[in-house]
Copies of this chain bind each other. A is one copy, B any other.
Amino acid sequence: MARYQIIADALRSRILSGEYEADEPLPSQRDLASHFGTAMMTVRQALDLLCQEGLLVVEHGLGTFVASVGAGHEIVSLGGFTEEMNAHHIGLSTAVLGLDASVEEPKAAEMLGLRARAGLSVLTRLRSVGGLPVVHQRSFMAGRFHNVMRQYDASRSLYVMLREGGGFTPTSYREHVTACAAPTSVARALQVTPGCPTLLSHRITFAATGVPFVYDQAYMAPERIELVVEKKGVAFTAEYLPIAASILSAHSLAEVAPVSANN
């Protein structure tokens, strides 16, 4: 693997784990170069990568910073909702609504590559931003993860737990997003009127080996959170943003620097 990718991986994990605070600059390129024992150009390649992923913002003459939505720049997500919010320092709180064992849910089981009647472990959570519930999420996993799940602590990331407890690192996912009327129980949790239109997401997450290991079903409250898809040339990003935050970043549209005019 290329050196710059190794450097990028190292920095990415530090950023996602919150090791680097927002508005706190990373070490300078020179320091990073000497720390990793490479030339500055190599460090810059790593930083470029993380910028494209939206994790960093570099400011000429000032330093390199962890991207925060308010700071007015791009974004990205690496799977976990928690990481997504952490990376942008959005105050996300999670409440566990329930943890069930041996649930039969043929569709989820099929997505996970299990037989239809396999018992699943299901974690139901409510995500809130600024005290307002935004996402009602049910995560389905194979029954053998249930013991790991019982140690789930709302302050941690489910993905981190599964990485440590199950040895699975999410590397890819596929998500289908539709609109759907909120079921009564979900509506109550989200504090919206039953039947109200919500975003419904089905996400299947794969480990590095290509094995599916989590299936998520999430209802999102309208006017509180939305999906923002961005494409610049070939670079895609897609992530959920609380509306207040995405309005902020929408305003920064006007500030988008004119890309090199043709003179």
Interface residues of A (CB under 8 A from B): 1, 5, 8-9, 12-13, 41, 49, 51-55, 74-77, 79, 110-111, 113, 169, 171-181, 197-200, 204, 206, 208-212, 220, 222-223, 226-238, 246, 250, 253-254, 256-263
- Chain B hits for A257, CB < 8 A: 210
B259 touches A176 (CB 8 A): no
B197 touches A259 (CB 8 A): no
Closest to A249 in B: B174
- Chain B hits for A253, CB < 8 A: 111, 174, 204, 212
- Interface majority SS (helix, strand, loop, mixed), chain A: mixed
Instruction: Report A89 CB to chain B, min CB distance, Å.
Output: 20
- Chain B hits for A178, CB < 8 A: 199, 222-223, 226-227
A180 touches B209 (CB 8 A): no
Q: A181-B197, A260-B9 are in contact. Are A227 and B171 (CB under 8 A)?
A: no
Instruction: Report A201 CB to chain B, min CB distance, Å.
Output: 9
- Chain B hits for A246, CB < 8 A: 176
Complex partner residue of A259 from B180, B210, B263, CB under 8 angstroms: B210
A228 touches B175 (CB 8 A): yes
Complex: A111 Cα to B254 Cα, angstroms: 8
Complex: A209 Cα to B261 Cα, angstroms: 6
A232 touches B262 (CB 8 A): no
Complex: A238 Cα to B75 Cα, angstroms: 15
B209 touches A259 (CB 8 A): yes
